[in-house]
Chain A
Amino acid sequence: MKKVLVVEDNSDNLRLISYALRRCGYEVLAADTGEKGVELAVSEHPTFIIMDINLPDIDGLEATRRIRKSGANGSIPIIAITSYAMAGDMDQVLSAGCTGYFEKPIDPLTIMDKIHALLGIVSPNADGTGDSP
Chain B
Amino acid sequence: MTFSLSPLMLLLLLSIAIQAAAAIMAIRLIGITGRRVAWCLIVTALLLMSVRRIIPLYRLLVGEQPYTPDLLNELIGLALSCAMAIGLALIAPLFLERKRVEDELRLTADEMRDLYDHAPCGYHSLDDDGRFVRINATELQWLGYQRDEVVGRMRFADLLTPRSTQVFADTFPRLKQEGRVKDLELELVRKNGTILSVLLSASVVLNRDGSCLMSRSTVFDISDRKKNEEAEHVLSSIVESSDDAIIAKDLQQTILAWNKGAELLYGYTAEEALGRSVIMLVPPERYGELNDIMATIRSGERVEHLVTERIRKGGERISVSLTVSPIRDADGEILRASVVSRNITEEMQLAAQLKQQQLHQEELVQQRTMELMERSRELQENQQALMNIVDDLNQKTEELEQANAKLQELDQLKSLFIASMSHELRTPLNSIIGFSSILKDEWLGPINQEQKENLATILRSGRHLLNLINDVIDVSKIEAGRIEVRLEEFDLYDLLKEAVQYVENDVREKGLRLELQLQHHALRTDRRRLLQSVLNFLSNAVKFTERGCITLASSIEAARPERPGCVAISVVDTGIGIAEADIERLFRPFVRLESPLKTLAPGTGLGLYLTKKLIEDVLDGTITCTSTHGAGSTFTLTIPERLNEKGTGCRG
Contacts and interface: CB of A to CB of B under 8 A. Distances in A.
Given A132-B443, A132-B444, A85 B434 contact: no
Interface in A13-41: 13, 16, 19-20, 23
A82 to B, nearest CB: 12
Interface stretch (A43-51, A56-64, A69-77, A99-107): A99-107
Contact of B426 (A19, A84, A87): A84
Contacts of A19: 438, 443-444
A16 B435 contact: yes
Contacts of A84: 422-423, 426, 470
A83 interface: yes
Contacts of A109: 437-438, 441
A21 to B, nearest CB: 12
B431 A16 contact: yes
Contacts of A12: 427, 430-431, 434-435
Contacts of A88: 484, 486
Nearest to A126: B443
A13 B444 contact: no
A133 interface: yes
A123 interface: no
Interface string A85-115: 1011000000000000000111111000000
Contact of A105 (B433, B443, B484, B486): B433
Contacts of A104: 426, 430
A129 interface: no
Interface size class of chain B, counting residues whose CB lies under 8 Å from the partner chain: 20 to 34
B426 A107 contact: no
A105 B430 contact: yes
A107 B422 CA distance: 18
B443 A107 contact: no
Interface size class of chain A, counting residues whose CB lies under 8 Å from the partner chain: 20 to 34
Contacts of A20: 438
B507 to A, nearest CB: 18
B434 A108 contact: yes
A44 B441 CA distance: 32
B466 interface: yes
A123 B427 CA distance: 29
A133 B419 CA distance: 39
Interface of A: 10, 12-13, 16, 19-20, 23, 83-85, 87-88, 104-109, 132-133
Given A13-B431, A20-B438, 20 more contacts: A12-B427, A12-B431, A13-B430, A16-B438, A23-B443, A85-B419, A85-B422, A87-B528, A88-B486, A104-B426, A104-B430, A105-B426, A105-B430, A105-B434, A106-B430, A107-B433, A107-B437, A108-B437, A108-B438, A109-B437
